[in-house]
Structure 1
């Protein structure tokens, strides 16, 4: 990955009206995603408590479907404005590929974290329940969870690069939100029973903030950021032909 392609940017770059509109789009996309995805888990927990018949497998399938559908919508509605990152790890991977400046990444991260927090606050108020923070399942070690988060996020960001960043994507880019949503849903089916399958630091941050529960929270930052970095480096170096015209920062 050519280091010269990584852009730091300026304060003016981050405060430009287009950057602020993009950050606002990230905020609303994150609210949509977390409210629907995390809210589905809270709704299922309420039904289980009412029926006194825990069905963890059913809950995992519901979580996968709700997160997959919600992410498909969240990415689609933000694509033309911010690129539809809806994930600090995705933004980090895009930054490493030289497609967004570091200063602009910062306002994306702030908007994403705020969106997740606001969504969880709304869920708390609307349901009367507390949005549960991500946690490791019984018998799952920190190293196990870290590997899960790295591998799952690698798959997610690799998919983002292949369908939305690669200049050769052509018509594949049209199905990018679908592919990204499916990747998240599939990963939840794999890792959801072990560590909740976050793949997204903002999705973990919101529930942790409103419940003030920070046990092993660093795993949900280090794992996704590491997986995103590896995916960006691998795809950018092995598969992107840099003789093509590079993406404009506003394109993704």
Structure 2
């Protein structure tokens, strides 16, 4: 079983943590700017719904792959509170670190959406809401499954030391699964998989309809994905982080 490190508040003042927070903010900001911006572009151009779904999914796939790669060596390129939680429950970062990352990721998302609203002349930032005919339970389960598949991909293609021929392809493959999940679940739950991605548009537009679903579902899916992958699928010869270690 992976050992979960608690960490302490002193992490917030360590240079490596501060640098990671800056890079995580930049990467999450750019991810949300492109992701939400692609949805706004599709809406402005009145694109066919099926083509719009493909366009938004492809945009997310590309920007996720690039931003994970850009931030990986400094912050890990999480971009997502659910990914951060999954890595914490797998023992890869301390439990204290996600608190800092979550504030950072949500602030970056809000900043990106504020800028998008200004640059587009006041257009609303589209929010994640459940489609007609999709109830709360269905939406939560959809988000759990989609986010679990995201964490499964992160662990098996990036975290797992035995990835072999997949070495270096993890960010691209993670981006592809995000895009595929949007195409599969976008018409039902919106396929957020990311509480921060949902938070920014909701805050800027003032529309909190169904918003809690996009915290509950992804965090459950991310937590389960990290815990199960680390403890049942990955074989290690050492524990990645001790209970008291404060390093990232």
Task: Indicate whether the TM-score tops 0.5.
Answer: yes
SS in 2 for 1:194: coil
1:210-225 mapped onto 2 (5 Å cutoff): 210-225=204-219
The correspondence for 1:46, drawn from 39, 44, 53, is: 44
Tell me if structure 2 keeps the 8 A contact 1:74–1:84. Answer: yes
Which residue of the partner structure matches residue 242 of structure 1? 236
Gap runs ≥5 in structure 2: none
Cα distance in structure 2, aligned partners of 1:146 and 1:95:
22
Q: 1:174 aligns with which of 168, 178, 188?
A: 168
1:23 aligns with 2:21: yes
Give the secondary-structure state (helix, strand or coil) at the position aligned to 1:213. Answer: coil
Q: Which residue of 2 aligns with 1:189?
A: 183
Gaps of 5+ in 1: 49-53
Provide the rounded CA distance (Å) in 1 between the counterparts of 2:72 and 2:164.
Answer: 16
TM superposition shift of 1:247: 6.2
Native 8 Å contact 2:90 2:231 kept in 1: no
* Structure 1 counterpart of 2:143: 149
Deviations 1:115-159 (A, max 9, x none): 110010010000021112111111111111111100000000011
TM-score (norm 2): 0.94
Matched, 1:115 2:113: no
- TM-score scaled to structure 1, two decimals? 0.92
Give the length in aligned residue pairs: 245
Deviation by residue 1:152-188 (Cα, 9 ceiling, x = unmatched):
0000001111112123235524111101100000000
Query: Counterpart in 2 of 1:205?
Result: 199
Inter-partner Cα distance in structure 2 for 1:101 and 1:190: 33
